[in-house]
Amino acid sequence: MAITNRILDEDAAPATPVSLDGVFDALGRSPFRRRCGLAAAERAYLERKGLAVVLRHARDFIDRRLAPRQPPNDGRQTPFRGHPAFVAQHATATCCRCCLAKWHRIPRGHALTEPECQYVVAVIERWLRGQARQLHRRGRS
C-alpha cells in the first residue's frame, strides 16, 4: 500500500520514454506539479515581456543551472518564485537533473546536448502557453 501511494504521489512519473503528451498527462496526475501556477506578478511579467522573451530567459537559466554535467546545487538551483520560467520548471519537472531524469528520461551525469536543451525549452513553452490560455478564458468569463 505504501509503495502504491508513493508511486501515485511523486506520482505517475512515466517508467519509459514517453511523448510530450505522455509527460504532460503524467504531470497532470501529480498533486505537487498541478499546484504550481503563476502568481499575479509572474503573470503580469509574462504579459508585459511576452512569451519569446520569457523563453529566452528560460534558455539562459537552463544553460547555466541545468545543462552542466554536474550543475551547482543540483536539486535546489531553481527558485520557486520570481520568474514565470522558474514556476514552469517546477510545474513540468524540469527544475533539476533528478526530476529531468525521473520524468523526462534524460539521464544525469552528462552535459545536456543542444536537442535536450531545446526539448526543455519546448516543455516550458507548452506549459506557459497552457497558463496563458487559462488566463484568457478566465479573463473573458
> What SS3 state is found at 69?
coil
Binding marks (x or -) toward Zn ion, 19..58, rule CB under 5 A? ----------------------------------------
Comparing CB distances to Zn ion, the nearer of 27 and 95 is 95
| Residue nearer to Zn ion on the CB measure, 92 or 131 | 92
- Amino acid identity of residue 58, one-letter, is A
- Locate 30 and state its grid cell: 501529480
Q: Does 123 bind Zn ion (CB under 5 A)?
A: no
Task: Report if residue 96 touches Zn ion, rule: CB under 5 A.
Answer: yes
CB of 11 to Zn ion, least distance (A): 14
Number of residues that make up the chain: 141
**Residue in this structure with the C-alpha cell 517546477, named with its chain if needed:** 90
| 95 interacts with Zn ion by CB under 5 A | yes
* Choice from 13, 99, 124, 128 touching Zn ion (CB under 5 A): 99
Residues 6+ apart with CB under 8 A from 71: 65, 77, 96, 97
Q: How buried is residue 95: exposed, middle or buried, by Cβ count under 10 Å (0-12/13-18/19+)?
A: buried
Number of residues engaging Zn ion in binding (CB under 5 A): 3
Report the residue number, 78 or 131, with the smaller CB distance to Zn ion.
Answer: 78
Closest approach, Cβ 76 to Zn ion, in A, equals 9
Report CA 34 to chain centroid distance, whole Å.
11
Interface residue list for Zn ion (CB under 5 A): 95-96, 99
